Structure 1
């Protein structure tokens, strides 16, 4: 658990800065948060790989970040990973690494991309769906894959050639499905349940467009 300490530090910051009072008073927000965490569990269970530690799966972290925001997204993503580990799909010694490189950094990156689109691009529904959602998801899974690749080589678990052949080489197969999965989820949520999206505001993306 070499990366557990920085992971715990990020979690403490996220929990400390989060405004818990309105969240605790709103049962709908609580159900939405825990429901989002539970939905990720079967998605992350669908793992495939040849080498131990080099398994691939869809992330869904872009949808989580846009739904819940950075702080609650990090906390609920941690809950999802905790459940996956408890169920035996990930080993406990890798929990810190999986948390930091597989949840915290990719989700933070995804939220940062959203902030960039919100700050510098024209605020339109299609920009939100296709840039902050679709393309953002593809970039996020790329970041996660490269992070794990670098860590595996740096830690000496596998050579760069093995990582390239058995892990990085699968990335082109994941980009479009990951982008489509998040893009469709965000589209459905924006159309039918916009109040569930922490980062979507009618006044910015729909009114007077």
Structure 2
């Protein structure tokens, strides 16, 4: 899994516009600040079985704020820091990278692209669909992926996963959606130029 994850990150880095990014110091602070902000969020974990810890993701906000390529790189940096601090194990770095970062963030960005392409472009659509509901779907996907991984690798039985992991998911959906929805709302209202997936001309002007 770690090889697949590294290949995806290399592909994202290869196709990224580094020249523009390197010339924008504000963007540097924003990207690394977003990566650091995820670290304490991911450190706040709860769980009763090894490998079945739950925490808020914040990946939808990162995907909308930084875009797919930089979002992947910065969230991977967050995972690296959390693992280095001992809150995640190094043997699980590959699964955490692929199942906990790359696939959920990519799915979140894909849903944004679908809303941008097929739904009416309005501020409330951006906040509630691309932000709020998108975040709930993202944490659902991540939880299901890890559930399948734990059962597939025989680390836990399906019943243990259901009782100690999937049963907590309904309690996480609304807080995760609210966290990301509020973050995106504040950003597009006060710092819309920070959010690379948002433009006033698409969602407000001439509406």
Which TM-score band applies after superposition, normalised by the shorter structure?
Answer: over 0.9
CA deviations 1:52-75 (Å, max 9, x no partner) are: 100000000000000000000000
Q: Which residue of 1 aligns with 2:106?
A: 108
Q: Which residue of 2 aligns with 1:62?
A: 60
Question: Shift of the alpha carbon at 1:147?
Answer: 0.2
CA distance in 1, matches of 2:170, 2:200: 34
CA distance in 2, matches of 1:118, 1:149: 31
CA distance in 1, matches of 2:48, 2:8: 31
CA distance in 2, matches of 1:60, 1:106: 10
Q: Which residue of 2 aligns with 1:85?
A: 83
Question: Shift of the alpha carbon at 1:13?
Answer: 0.4
Alignment map for 1:167-182 (pairs within 5 Å): 167-182=165-180
Question: Shift of the alpha carbon at 1:148?
Answer: 0.2
Alignment map for 1:53-202 (pairs within 5 Å): 53-202=51-200
Structure 1: 5+ residue stretches without partners: none
Structure 2: 5+ residue stretches without partners: none
Question: Shift of the alpha carbon at 1:124?
Answer: 0.1
Q: TM-score, normalised by structure 2?
A: 1.00
CA distance in 2, matches of 1:19, 1:191: 26
Question: Shift of the alpha carbon at 1:46?
Answer: 0.2
Point out 4+ residue stretches in structure 1 off by more than 4 angstroms.
Answer: none
Q: Which residue of 2 aligns with 1:12?
A: 10
Question: Shift of the alpha carbon at 1:28?
Answer: 0.3
CA distance in 2, matches of 1:4, 1:19: 25
Question: Shift of the alpha carbon at 1:5?
Answer: 0.5
CA deviations 1:108-150 (Å, max 9, x no partner) are: 0000000000000000000000000000000000000000000
Question: Shift of the alpha carbon at 1:168?
Answer: 0.5
CA distance in 1, matches of 2:183, 2:9: 26
Question: Shift of the alpha carbon at 1:99?
Answer: 0.4
CA distance in 2, matches of 1:164, 1:112: 28
| Counterpart check, 1:32 vs 2:33 | no
Question: Shift of the alpha carbon at 1:22?
Answer: 0.7
RMSD (Å) for aligned C-alpha atoms: 0.3
Question: Shift of the alpha carbon at 1:78?
Answer: 0.2
Question: Shift of the alpha carbon at 1:153?
Answer: 0.3
